[in-house]
Amino acid sequence: MRFTSGSRYPCQEDIPLSGQLPFAHVIPATGVPTRVPLNTLAIPLGLAGLAQVWSVATIALGMPFAIGQAFWLIAAIAWLWTIAVHVRRGTRTDQPLSHQLTHFAQGPLAALLPITAMLLGASLHRTIPLAGTVLTLISIAAAAAFGAWILSFWMRGELTLESVHGGYYLPISAAGLVGALAAAESGLDWLAVGTFAVGIFFWLVISAFFFLRLALRPTMPAPLVPTLAIMIAPPAVAAAAWLTISGGRPDEVFEGLTAVTAFMVLIQVTLLPRYRALPFSLSFWSFTFPAASVTALVITWLRLLHPFAWQATTVGLLAALTVLVVVVAAKSIFLLSATTRAARRQRPAAEKQAIG
């Protein structure tokens, strides 16, 4: 592992995602376990995004409440399972967690854990208000603590512009905006406004650095290219959060945030050829939550405006997003199965070589 001059932290060229993503849950052939990459935390977030869309759609279409809750249960199980996998692997390796948290590529992705918990807390509030409120408050507090810590780490002056990727929206901007949505849905209006302000401010700050990095620095490494999709999530989530804060009344702020979201989606359309050229990896889960955020916003607009065939359009959007998440999940399972078998085949040869 290489380090920057005079620093104990890994430099940008030591991005492990390309090598670690396919082997996220596999012990290397050397027999020395490594920590699970933090971007695997995008899996429960993507499932939570899908559950959010189903909840919005069930309200719009008058479908049974239990349908949306079933998807939330799947997201909660995935969240707990992912945490268990990280903890179990962490107890079997000598690599400290601080190495991941201070890594310029992986560190910001740790925010995925409390962000997912915020959405789960808001969902839980619909059935068990007290438990949902407690989970929402704890997850927002955890995200705030992590956001303050990682911002102070970035302020040490060791961060290079090449290190910035779409995941840098997560610790403060995305956490603030998702926190605003979760707090508003949990009836914590006083907290929702504050977290919304924090999220909007750092959305603008991070966007400035992110677009400078894209325009003035070399092309982003392939494993990090899917994080470009994250740029559409902040305005989409912000629009949903503001609509909830304002009591469901669409106003100029909501319309403005929707317009920004639409432009960000247009940018993503131009990036489709670049995305299609990428080999599949677990980093493709980066596409799921942004796609879910935009889908939820579109369904909300359809419910508000009731254009021609809006219900059929809602069903189509819901089906398309569900297929996207299912395909990514299926490919992830096949990928992990293949890499597990490959690692098992390589391990005996590595052990013989070590003995020899």
Residue 103 Cα to chain centre, angstroms: 17
The pLDDT of 305-323, averaged and rounded, is 96
Question: What tokens appear for 128 in the block?
Answer: 């068990």
Closest of 229, 228, 291, 279 to residue 47, by C-alpha: 291
Q: How confident is the model at residue 356 (pLDDT cuts 50, 70, 90)?
A: low
For 116-228, list the strands marked E by DSSP. Answer: none
Of the listed ranges 15-24, 100-109, 264-273, the least confidently predicted one is 15-24
The pLDDT of 324-346, averaged and rounded, is 87
* Per-residue pLDDT, 7: 40
More confident residue, 348 or 44: 44
* Per-residue pLDDT, 160: 87
CA–CA distance, 335 with 348 (Å, rounded to integer):
21
CA–CA distance, 198 with 337 (Å, rounded to integer):
41
Q: How confident is the model at residue 197 (pLDDT cuts 50, 70, 90)?
A: very high
- How many alpha carbons fall within 13 Å on the CB side of residue 321? 28
- As a whole number, the mean pLDDT across the chain is 88
- How many alpha carbons fall within 13 Å on the CB side of residue 291? 22
The residue to which tokens 């005996």 are assigned:
348
* Per-residue pLDDT, 337: 87
Question: What tokens appear for 105 in the block?
Answer: 């590529």
More confident residue, 9 or 337: 337
* Per-residue pLDDT, 325: 97
More confident residue, 152 or 336: 152
More confident residue, 287 or 162: 287
CA–CA distance, 65 with 9 (Å, rounded to integer):
48
CA–CA distance, 146 with 159 (Å, rounded to integer):
17
* Per-residue pLDDT, 339: 80
Q: What digits encode the pLDDT tens for the residues 105-131? A: 899 999 999 999 999 999 999 999 999
Q: What digits encode the pLDDT tens for the residues 7-37? A: 433 343 344 433 334 334 444 444 557 888 9
- Using DSSP, state whether 73 is helix, strand or coil: helix
Whole-angstrom distance between the N-terminal and C-terminal Cα of the chain?
26
* Per-residue pLDDT, 340: 77
Q: How confident is the model at residue 344 (pLDDT cuts 50, 70, 90)?
A: confident
Burial bucket for residue 20 (CB in 10 Å: 0-12, 13-18, 19+): buried
- Using DSSP, state whether 1 is helix, strand or coil: coil
* Per-residue pLDDT, 336: 86
Helix (H) or strand (E) holding 311: helix 310-355
Any bridge partners for residue 10, and if so which?
Answer: 3
Q: What digits encode the pLDDT tens for the residues 228-249? A: 999 999 999 999 999 999 999 9
